[in-house]
């Protein structure tokens, strides 16, 4: 439909199209003027029905007020052709320019946007009608004033002339402009007619009947009283078809009147009729606009509701409404599945589904145990709000199965615990190892001194042999102290299991998870860069995670003073080894600090023990790898690179094993 | 030069105590506070063995041992390790350390190991001297005599040698007598023993 319409009324894009359109318009103007030229005052263009005004207004709204000159030309031509130059040509030129100027100004004030919506809403309809009334009042008074001033019209006829002209133009504009603008936009509404022919025919028949009543029965002067019944079909049509339908009906009535009165000589009934017509049109336009507005509001509401319904049925969480005492009113698909209900929810109560639920506040959330209709129980996250008018009073609840969430939470906590324990163990191990080394030196010296003393005591032959015995005991005690240290160290070193396998990417992911929102809080962008597939490494997973956690934490600490820092974890393969680099955009390690970087008890942090890097390197080395420092080529700061041996393929790996 | 124990340790007390113990056990010793100092002071005439701590700031004992290896210095190296440095000790032994001892060290064991290291050094040194002497003697031979002694060492008979060199068996006999005289050997067995020292 719209394609046909747009072919009939193409948008005038090219200059030629505009000129052709202007010509069509001017021709139609003259033709309409000619058709509607009856009961004039003194052969002037003062007639009670001016469809050409409606055409003009529509034309100027379409192509823009600048084309007002075409209107002036058309009006002037009409004066010459239809009325045979009834007055001084200068007067005719001036009156034509006045008409064109007024309507161009009105079109500019109203704007095509509002005019196009005049039949769709009350506000644009009122604006449109008001501007039409005002503009045509201006046109009419100006026109009549010009002719009175030019002595082409007696002063006594001025008031009547203005009224007649005004009524004629308003009539033409109210009736035709919306219809023409609608046709230009594509006239999509005609398709709706096809299914409703009986109603359309009934409406047309009623219209015809009442028009016939108006003119067919010869009751001389009182025939106008038969006009009022015409409001009935017009209102009927306006309610059913909107403003456009009402205007089409008004047009039909107008044509009926025109046909009926074509040869009539009396003058009074026509102007009265036209005033009535005006009322009819205004009623139809405003009522129809309101009806259309209501209808589209209802339509939008229905569309919104349908959308909401779709959202609810697709929602993964159970959405339930219940009345104030807790009886279920509605439940979406997810609710039915979650609680094992069929679509009949009416007999179910909230206390049955969520036994522990206390709806004590208007709006809250809680985790509690839910019960399925078959008696099965599961942990559920429940959020609710109370429903208040205009909704039906009651409760809206959203329920989600929390089994998975709680399991993940437990797992994460367990992982944290394991990690923390491993970390404590590593710290203790490092302490023991450092302690063992530091104490071993004096003990070594002590033992050697004691041995030397023994030899010297033995050389001084006649000395008391208690001295030799005491020295032996002393050195034995020193050796015992050393053995205690050895055992302590053995205890922590025996804990590594270098044969394990670890998936590096998994380690990265779980460390990132463990860090939580710490990077975001610090405004640091943390990213991981790796090939899609990385071989597993021959290392203990927890220990790799510990080292990675330690290195990333260090990087974050190093960036704590900077803004918009970056931390990048790179994973790459290098001939049988996997390299995991932790880069940061900080200042890196100073030249002076480099030699002691991995030594224990060496730290730059105010509250650090200085064990992190020492432990990390020992852990990596215990797993057969190495941990190195260099300046980051990627971010300019520090880069700690963990090198680990790739695990041999297909050993005890269920994923990669061949069946 | 007297066999000496060159002892490297960063801990002054350990240096002093071990040095005292060594002197009481009758060893000559010289102490160094770091691997670097030892390398600076080292002279090729050094005889005896090197006793070094493993874990030191700067160059470690393992680094020192590797450096000596690279420089072709064959002084036996005995490492003093802290207990449990298993991986490092394994690496050290693989790259040719003579032995390792755990701190705190038992003086009897220390003495045993150092004695055997010094003996090892002495034997290696005497071997070197022997080879040098033999080489010097071989250089006295004429080219022809050297050809003959080489073929003798391969186990060929007089007749086979004569055939190989295109001379008569009698001439071979003459060369043989002359080279045995020059090499100071009484019989063929002596010649073969002497050659086995320089050949492999």
A600 to chain B, minimum CA–CA distance in Å? 12
The phi and psi torsions of B29 (rounded to 5 degrees) equal -140, 160
Residue A107 is predicted with a pLDDT of: 92
Tens of pLDDT, residues A257-280: 777 766 554 445 677 778 888 888
Band of pLDDT at residue B134, cut at 50, 70 and 90: confident
Which residues of chain A are within 8 Å of residue B55 when distances are taken between CB atoms?
Answer: 437
Band of pLDDT at residue B9, cut at 50, 70 and 90: very high
A492 to chain B, minimum CA–CA distance in Å? 11
- Between CA B95 and CA B98 the distance in angstroms is 10
Residue A658 is predicted with a pLDDT of: 37
Residue B82 predicted with pLDDT over 50 = yes
CB contact under 8 A, A448 and B21: yes
Residue A45 is predicted with a pLDDT of: 62
Which SS3 state, helix, strand or coil, does residue A640 take? strand
Which percentage of chain B shows pLDDT scores above 70?
96
Tens of pLDDT, residues A586-607: 888 888 888 778 877 777 776 6
**Cα Dmax for chain A:** 169
CB A291 within 8 A of CB A246: no
* Residue from A498, A580, A576 nearest A547 by CA: A580
- Between CA A392 and CA A238 the distance in angstroms is 34
Band of pLDDT at residue B78, cut at 50, 70 and 90: very high
Q: What's the token pair of residue A447?
A: 């033992």
Which residues of chain A are within 8 Å of residue B25 when distances are taken between CB atoms?
Answer: 455
A569 to chain B, minimum CA–CA distance in Å? 30
Alpha helices in A84-121 (DSSP H): 89-110, 112-116
Residue A269 is predicted with a pLDDT of: 64
Query: Which value does ipTM take for this structure?
Result: 0.73
CA-to-CA dists, residue B191 to B127, B162, B171, B173, angstroms: 17, 18, 18, 14
- Between CA A361 and CA A349 the distance in angstroms is 19
List of chain A residues with pLDDT < 50: 1-6, 8, 265-267, 651-659
> Which of B24, B80, B104, B114 best probes binding to A when mutated, by most A CB atoms within 10 angstroms?
B104
Tens of pLDDT, residues B38-74: 999 999 889 999 999 988 888 888 889 989 989 988 8
Between the CA atoms of A508, A514, A518 and A523, what dihedral angle is there, to the nearest 10 degrees? 20
Tens of pLDDT, residues A375-433: 889 999 999 999 888 888 889 999 999 999 899 888 888 888 888 887 787 788 778 77
- Between CA A170 and CA A166 the distance in angstroms is 6
Residue B129 is predicted with a pLDDT of: 81
- Asked if A520 is an interface residue toward chain B (Cβ–Cβ < 8 A), one would say no
B105 to chain A, minimum CA–CA distance in Å? 7
A 418-447 residues inside an 8 A Cβ radius of B: 433, 436-437, 440-447
CB contact under 8 A, A452 and B16: no
Which residues of chain A are within 8 Å of residue B103 when distances are taken between CB atoms?
Answer: 440-441, 443-444, 482
> Which of A432, A437, A451, A492 best probes binding to B when mutated, by most B CB atoms within 10 angstroms?
A451
- Between CA A561 and CA A558 the distance in angstroms is 7
Q: Which one of A443, A456, A478 has the shortest CB-CB distance to B24? A: A456
> Which of A452, A477, A482 best probes binding to B when mutated, by most B CB atoms within 10 angstroms?
A452
Band of pLDDT at residue B28, cut at 50, 70 and 90: very high
CB contact under 8 A, A437 and B14: no
Taking the whole predicted model, whether its pTM rises above 0.80 is answered as no
Residue B23 is predicted with a pLDDT of: 92
CB contact under 8 A, A447 and B20: no
Query: What's the whole-number average pLDDT of chain B?
Result: 86
A432 to chain B, minimum CA–CA distance in Å? 12
Which residues of chain A are within 8 Å of residue B18 when distances are taken between CB atoms?
Answer: 444-445, 448
Residue A539 is predicted with a pLDDT of: 87
Residue B164 predicted with pLDDT over 50 = yes
> Which of A437, A448, A617, A625 best probes binding to B when mutated, by most B CB atoms within 10 angstroms?
A448
CA-to-CA dists, residue A48 to A28, A45, A170, A192, B60, angstroms: 19, 10, 10, 34, 118
Query: What's the whole-number average pLDDT of chain A?
Result: 83
């Amino acid at each position: 439909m719209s394609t046909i319409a747009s072919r009939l009324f193409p948008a005038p894009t090219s200059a030629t199209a505009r000129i052709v359109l202007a010509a069509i318009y001017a021709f139609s103007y003259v033709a309409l003027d000619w058709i509607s030229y009856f009961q004039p005052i003194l052969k002037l263009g003062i007639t009670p029905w001016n469809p050409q005004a409606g055409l003009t207004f529509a034309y100027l709204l379409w192509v823009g007020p600048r084309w007002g000159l075409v209107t002036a030309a058309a009006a002037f031509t009409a004066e010459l052709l239809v009325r045979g130059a009834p007055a001084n040509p200068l007067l005719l030129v001036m009156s034509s320019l006045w008409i064109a100027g007024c309507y161009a100004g009105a079109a500019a004030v109203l704007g095509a946007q509002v005019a196009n919506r005049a039949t769709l809403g009350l506000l644009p309809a009122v604006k449109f009608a008001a501007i039409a009334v005002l503009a045509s009042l201006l046109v009419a008074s100006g026109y009549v004033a010009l002719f009175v001033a030019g002595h082409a019209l007696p002063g006594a006829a001025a008031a009547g002339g203005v009224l007649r002209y005004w009524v004629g133009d308003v009539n033409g504009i109210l009736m035709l402009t919306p219809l023409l603008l609608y046709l230009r936009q594509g006239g999509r509404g005609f398709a709706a007619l096809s299914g409703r022919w009986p109603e359309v025919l009934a409406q047309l028949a009623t219209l015809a009947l009442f028009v016939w009543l108006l003119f067919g029965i010869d009751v001389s002067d009182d025939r106008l009283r038969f006009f009022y019944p015409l409001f009935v079909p017009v209102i009927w049509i306006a309610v059913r078809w909107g403003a456009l339908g009402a205007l089409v009906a008004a047009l039909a009535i107008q044509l009926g009147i025109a046909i009926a009165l074509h040869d009539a000589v009396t003058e009074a009934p026509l102007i009265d009729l036209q005033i009535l017509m005006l009322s009819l049109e205004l009623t139809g336009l405003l009522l129809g606009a309101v009806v259309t507005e209501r209808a589209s509001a209802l339509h939008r509401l229905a569309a919104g509701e349908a959308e909401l319904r779709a959202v609810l049925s697709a929602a993964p969480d159970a959405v339930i409404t219940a009345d104030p005492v807790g009886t279920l009113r509605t439940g979406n698909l997810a609710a039915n599945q979650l609680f094992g209900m069929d679509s009949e929810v009416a007999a179910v109560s909230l206390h049955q589904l969520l036994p522990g639920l206390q709806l004590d506040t208007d709006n809250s959330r809680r985790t509690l145990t839910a019960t399925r209709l078959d008696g099965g129980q599961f942990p559920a996250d429940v959020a609710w709000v109370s429903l208040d008018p205009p909704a039906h009073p009651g409760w809206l609840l959203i329920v989600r199965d929390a089994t998975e969430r709680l399991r993940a939470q437990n797992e994460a906590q367990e992982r944290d615990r394991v990690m923390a324990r491993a970390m404590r163990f590593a710290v203790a191990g490092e302490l023991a190892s450092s302690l063992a080394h530091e104490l071993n030196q004096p003990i070594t010296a002590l033992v050697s001194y004691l041995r030397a003393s023994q030899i010297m005591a033995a050389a001084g032959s006649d000395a008391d042999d208690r001295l030799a015995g005491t020295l032996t005991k002393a050195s034995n005690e020193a050796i015992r102290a050393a053995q205690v240290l050895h055992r302590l160290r053995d205890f922590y070193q025996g804990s590594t299991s270098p044969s394990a396998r670890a998936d590096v990417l998994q380690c990265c992911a779980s460390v990132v998870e463990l860090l939580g929102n710490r990077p975001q809080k610090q405004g640091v962008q943390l990213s991981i860069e790796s090939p899609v597939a990385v071989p597993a490494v021959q290392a203990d997973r927890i220990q790799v995670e510990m080292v990675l956690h330690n290195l990333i934490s260090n990087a974050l600490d190093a960036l704590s003073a900077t803004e918009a820092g970056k931390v990048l974890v790179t994973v790459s393969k290098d001939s049988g080894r996997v390299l995991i680099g932790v880069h940061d955009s900080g200042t890196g390690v100073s030249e002076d600090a480099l030699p002691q970087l991995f030594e224990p008890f060496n730290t730059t942090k105010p509250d650090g023990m200085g064990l992190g890097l020492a432990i990390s390197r020992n852990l990596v080395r215990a797993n057969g790898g190495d941990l190195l420092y260099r300046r980051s080529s990627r971010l300019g700061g520090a880069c700690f690179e963990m090198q680990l041996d790739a695990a041999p393929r297909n050993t005890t790996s269920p994923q990669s094993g061949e069946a | 030069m007297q066999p000496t124990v060159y002892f490297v340790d960063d801990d002054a007390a350990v240096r002093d105590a071990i040095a005292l113990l060594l002197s009481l056990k009758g060893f000559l010793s010289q102490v160094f506070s770091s691997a670097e100092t030892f390398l600076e002071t080292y002279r090729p005439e050094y005889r005896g063995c090197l006793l070094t701590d493993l874990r030191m700031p700067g160059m470690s004992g393992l680094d020192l041992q590797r450096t000596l290896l690279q420089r072709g210095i064959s002084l036996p190296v005995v490492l003093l390790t802290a207990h449990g440095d298993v991986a490092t000790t394994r690496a050290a032994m693989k790259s040719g350390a003579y032995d390792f001892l755990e701190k705190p060290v038992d003086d009897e064991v220390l003495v045993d190991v150092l004695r055997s290291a010094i003996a090892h050094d002495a034997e290696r040194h005497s071997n070197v001297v022997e080879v040098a002497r033999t080489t010097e003697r071989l250089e006295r031979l004429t080219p022809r005599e050297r050809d003959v002694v080489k073929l003798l060492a391969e186990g060929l008979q007089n007749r086979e040698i004569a055939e190989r060199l295109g001379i008569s068996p009698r001439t071979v006999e003459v060369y043989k007598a002359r080279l045995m005289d020059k090499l100071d050997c009484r019989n063929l067995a002596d010649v073969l023993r002497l050659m086995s020292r320089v050949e492999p």
